[in-house]
Amino acid sequence: MGYEYMIDFEIHDREEIDGLLRRISGFEGYDPRYSLYNFRRTSTSKMPDAHAKVEETGLYVCANGASGFAVLEDIRAAVSALASSHTLRDLCD
């Protein structure tokens, strides 16, 4: 189990968010069974470095280790360029 976060922001166009996630470095693929975007940069195990899911109120991101936190920060930076305001919530607290 990784560290879970929610990036809250107003989603206007789900296709735009899909493209944003697919352009993040390490994007490995989309799993339609669970609606998850998987990211792998350094992990050689079954578990990806991170995965993300589009929710009604923003993006859920689960970071698995140091490379996962780097993916989280890249997603957050991309959201910052897209949304005028956003909030990062730690769901593990």
Give CATH for domain 3-90. Answer: 3.30.70
pLDDT in tens, 40-53: 999 988 999 999 99
| The two three-digit tokens of residue 48, written as one number | 């990806």
Report domain extents, the chain. Answer: 3-90
Confidence of residue 93 (pLDDT cuts 50, 70, 90): confident
CA distance 67 to 32: 23
- How many Å apart are CA 59 and CA 76, to the nearest integer? 9
Percent of the chain scoring above 70 in pLDDT: 99
Its pTM stands at 0.94
pLDDT in tens, 55-85: 999 999 999 988 999 999 999 999 999 988 9
pLDDT value for 84: 83
